Structure 1
């Protein structure tokens, strides 16, 4: 790998649109080099000028926009040094695990560190000989008290690498941000990008992609992405005013990549090791649809309890059921409206999952979407080593939110002759357009209810819906709601007996249990996580195939003897098999039921594309 020689840091032009007070402040200048990329290291230099008198507090973020748990990015920072403008070393101390104190400066601090990064996804930094995929909070140190200053970033690029970022490109290969919040919301991919660019409603949309496939595969992928963009814009009546007139899909589809999607104001970070062909392309497009919808919902339609984002703590919101869950619903719906899925595929790949989870898992029967949202700091890629009971107390705000979006959309169509698209447009009109690098009018839970009352012209219904389904945990009746569209909720495996258990089959022909679900056969028989099943009906649980054969020979209600080991003690129990309660949603046509013209029209009005041209 050939690395270009270091360029001197320049006094950089500032982005347009900054206030006079910001323009008067010296920008924070960053320079990134990759002399040891083969070992996943970058060398980062940050220059703070016109620093107020007194020690400078330099920090690494502990959390990241779009993530709600703590990730402690300082753990991957080392070889920290600081000098003054003349290169004289400055005293650096560490007051806590997350930052450094630099003393003795005379107004300029040059802060340098090595960053290690070997996870390519939307949260961390992934660096190697082929590329660098950088989430900003995992990459850039910052100084307390200087958060409102503009930032300027310069990359020392290995030969053949280019930059993909929502940062504003300036002369001389510099990329700028108006303040720390925007910088931290700006992922950047460095590498031999393959670019596809087009104009949509006066905006520049671009795909900046790292992948190993053929150009024709990227062309086909771009064509489908264009359809998704058009359908998303049709829901809101147009595209947002992107801050610099450009929206960038920053896509990394290399083999070393971890699957993820992370929304940002004017871009999205897309990472997957799936290729841009076959099922992999369709799966990747699903992430494209979800994340692009976020350029409205959560980035510009923003929950008040996430503004401004605090990089030094876990950020809790009561509104992720809407911010993520409604986006989950629309991301899947966009795949159908864009013609990438058929009705049957949409039922199988989208509706069946959310309806089954909502109606069969224990969590939604116990807790509300608001409660599930508040759990995000514990579940959103949060790491912990102690066991938990979330299988019985939790359902992701993605699923519970999407399930309620589905229910509300269908109810609006049936009772009020309107739809969820209209509700989203009304919210956008009320809370979306006022932007200056950040939402000027973020919403509250009460705002969401009030706008629903305005759309339906029925504040009683809006209040009841929120009490029952959002702050409460009453389950919708999907059988009734889906019937007007000619869609049927039915058992996916009717008549089949099950243990309803997660089993890990071991080499010694035993099976270890995961957490047993509330009221499942093994739960009722007194078995719990890490219990080891020795025999079922006198037979060893050798593998999944033999266990399925054993259960297939029985029917729901049969009682089987079971031998197991629980924390060192061998025990016996009697287990009553249950009917497999997994649900699926299918079209009446697939179920061989008659479907009326009214049902076909209802379904078409809901699922067919809305984009014109």
Structure 2
């Protein structure tokens, strides 16, 4: 799952986890979804569920794969009605497991008919349960309208399902699900497992475009775009070429693909929260309406988020921590290995964005500088090890941005990326450039091409595979960085990679684009404040000038040096402090109280940059350069 970093403000047997062929004798359950009212955020479905007479429990998915948390939005479930042979069957909710419903199936009944609705929210935020439709498009996750029953010990991949969707008039759709037929606006899908169905969302919209990408050989790949406007679909050829290169570079990195087709599903709207979720044969990417027509977006999430989610097809979907390889959607997930699942994906999401040309090399380097600054300000590292942020992931995903630098948030993403850069440069150094972390990926995530399957792994297998690439005490390497607290973040990968982080008075290009887009200002390395366009303090860096005078999140800056607050005036005031020429006086609201604060700061503006260290080989340059020659 992609969280869009907050750095600016805020041994199971593998055979048990393969997709197995559905048994011909199975009677599949049916899910018929009506999306015709999606423009008003109302999704409806009728289910036909094979059953046996007697007590029955129906489950609404709770723990959602890829979201790593019990985020199934049961609060927005509506209109639940159960009938059999035309008669209503009463149900009761379990008073402990609130995502489960009990009923009694009468004698002689072999199928239940269930009607349900999902009431999609309108406010931004959330992941799969966030806003899912506008007047012109929708992204539909099957778990939103699914109730299922299972026998004891049964895996959801052994439950067969036959699904269909009815689209609004004139809309088109994209999905990785195999289509059996289409009649008018109704698409009938082939029978698949419940696991595959729920792992295959449907993107649809009035303004829709499907673009083939990637090499001609191998599984087909598609870029599916749905936008609130026709203009937003006018994607430049350079994006298409870069995404094709992304497919080729990922294939080169992992050496195999574990899917039959892959669809990059991209909803282009400003009415959704901008986030993304991985799936085995597709990804759900929610970007700005003008993501492909505004050049500044090329430096931001648009450039790397699809590469992040694509890496998850190997790291997260095919290879998955055993604690996340659960048999259904009700069993709690154990998330302590998310520093591998998300951290390595974050690393290679950045690397592949550069290798494919989605990110220019200078912007890719700016990103490492920004990561280093963010990591240095995470003072929560003093009390909380990285592994604990992963173990606490189900809570931290919904934590507030305020005080995140003291508390720590989902740091296993970006600190995980820094840790894997450390490992990559170390392998390259010790092998004299003959080996790299790429070799680990081929050994760990590769194998032969084939259909989707899940191969769980443990910490011990990670260590063993690393030792198979280069002999080293990888157990100690990982335990120190993951399980122990330390005041300093893992930045050795940058220095060993031939670069150093320095502060300059001008912003790097990535910082410029980020602040322009977010309408915020990040002065973390100078006065220690991250501030929104309205003057609200989003966070304060510990031991910074702002921290020392008592400023905190939720406070709001009214005035800077006697003038009404604007971001520009705050930046100008900090710039004027260099050498003690001027002071920064802030008039700040704290609830119903107002107070003036004087910051004793004389350092001017400070923003992170990477600068080459000529005495060392440029390993970061080697990591970021394309592996496939033109």
The TM-score, its normalising length taken from structure 2, stands at: 0.80
Which of 594, 599, 602 aligns to 2:617? It is: 599
Which of 463, 471, 477 aligns to 2:483? It is: 471
How far off is 1:127 after superposition? 3.6
Distance 1:532 1:256 in 2: 26
How far off is 1:265 after superposition? 0.7
User: Cα gap change, 1:573/1:169 in structure 2, threshold over 3 Å: closer, same or farther?
Assistant: closer
How far off is 1:260 after superposition? 1.8
**3-state SS, counterpart of residue 421 of structure 2:** helix
Partner of 1:174: 188
Which of 95, 117, 122 aligns to 2:120? It is: 117
Which of 304, 307, 317 aligns to 2:335? It is: 317
Distance 1:152 1:144 in 2: 16
Question: Which runs of 5 or more structure 2 residues have no equivalent in the other structure?
Answer: 1-17, 507-522
How far off is 1:473 after superposition? 4.0
Partner of 1:195: 210
User: Cα gap change, 1:405/1:177 in structure 2, threshold over 3 Å: closer, same or farther?
Assistant: farther
How far off is 1:228 after superposition? 0.8
User: Cα gap change, 1:373/1:310 in structure 2, threshold over 3 Å: closer, same or farther?
Assistant: farther
How far off is 1:325 after superposition? 1.5
2:407 is equivalent to residue 393 of structure 1:
yes
Partner of 2:575: 552
Which of 434, 441, 449 aligns to 2:463? It is: 449
Show the 5 A alignment for 1:307-386.
307-308=325-326, 310-312=328-330, 315-348=333-366, 350-380=367-397, 382=398
Distance 1:424 1:305 in 2: 20
Partner of 1:12: none
Partner of 1:229: 247
How far off is 1:215 after superposition? 6.5
Distance 1:35 1:286 in 2: 33
- The two structures, once aligned, show a CA RMSD in angstroms of 3.5
Partner of 1:52: 52
User: Cα gap change, 1:564/1:338 in structure 2, threshold over 3 Å: closer, same or farther?
Assistant: closer
Equivalent residues of 2:232, 2:268 under 8 A apart: no
**3-state SS, counterpart of residue 313 of structure 2:** coil
Partner of 2:76: 76
Deviations 1:395-451 (A, max 9, x none): 52111111111111112212233211112222225xx669874313x1112221222
Partner of 1:300: 318
Show the 5 A alignment for 1:72-151.
72-84=72-84, 86-96=85-95, 97-105=98-106, 106-118=109-121, 122-124=127-129, 126-145=132-151, 147=156, 148-151=158-161
Distance 1:255 1:560 in 2: 36
Equivalent residues of 2:573, 2:584 under 8 A apart: no
User: Cα gap change, 1:499/1:447 in structure 2, threshold over 3 Å: closer, same or farther?
Assistant: same
The structure whose RCO (Cα within 8 Å, separation 6+) is larger is 2
Partner of 1:438: 453
Deviations 1:153-207 (A, max 9, x none): 0122333333322223225642245432222222112335322225544211122
Equivalent residues of 1:353, 1:584 under 8 A apart: yes
Equivalent residues of 2:264, 2:283 under 8 A apart: yes
Distance 1:416 1:310 in 2: 43
Distance 2:606 2:202 in 1: 42
Partner of 2:15: none
Deviations 1:82-104 (A, max 9, x none): 221x3232223334443433334
Distance 2:239 2:558 in 1: 49
**3-state SS, counterpart of residue 166 of structure 1:** coil
**3-state SS, counterpart of residue 290 of structure 1:** helix
2:549 is equivalent to residue 525 of structure 1:
yes
Distance 1:48 1:555 in 2: 71
Deviations 1:453-507 (A, max 9, x none): 222122x3x12211221222444674x644565433111339x99431245687x
Partner of 1:184: 198
User: Cα gap change, 1:55/1:163 in structure 2, threshold over 3 Å: closer, same or farther?
Assistant: farther
Distance 2:28 2:527 in 1: 62
Distance 2:624 2:159 in 1: 46
Equivalent residues of 1:505, 1:544 under 8 A apart: yes
Deviations 1:91-148 (A, max 9, x none): 2333444343333441210001222225698513624553331122223222243743
Equivalent residues of 2:63, 2:329 under 8 A apart: yes
Deviations 1:203-234 (A, max 9, x none): 11122221323766264432221011111111
Question: How many equivalent pairs are there?
Answer: 570
How far off is 1:273 after superposition? 2.2
**3-state SS, counterpart of residue 143 of structure 2:** helix
Deviations 1:269-322 (A, max 9, x none): 112124222233564241111111111111112111101165236634111112
How far off is 1:330 after superposition? 1.1
Question: Which runs of 5 or more structure 1 residues have no equivalent in the other structure?
Answer: 1-15
The TM-score, its normalising length taken from structure 1, stands at: 0.82
Equivalent residues of 2:526, 2:606 under 8 A apart: no
User: Cα gap change, 1:256/1:528 in structure 2, threshold over 3 Å: closer, same or farther?
Assistant: closer
Distance 1:561 1:34 in 2: 55
Equivalent residues of 1:499, 1:521 under 8 A apart: yes
Equivalent residues of 1:559, 1:576 under 8 A apart: yes
User: Cα gap change, 1:556/1:466 in structure 2, threshold over 3 Å: closer, same or farther?
Assistant: farther
Equivalent residues of 2:574, 2:584 under 8 A apart: no
How far off is 1:520 after superposition? 1.9
Distance 1:410 1:584 in 2: 21
Larger Rg: 1
User: Cα gap change, 1:516/1:563 in structure 2, threshold over 3 Å: closer, same or farther?
Assistant: same
**3-state SS, counterpart of residue 65 of structure 1:** coil
Distance 2:167 2:554 in 1: 50
Partner of 2:173: 163
User: Cα gap change, 1:209/1:281 in structure 2, threshold over 3 Å: closer, same or farther?
Assistant: farther
User: Cα gap change, 1:546/1:572 in structure 2, threshold over 3 Å: closer, same or farther?
Assistant: closer
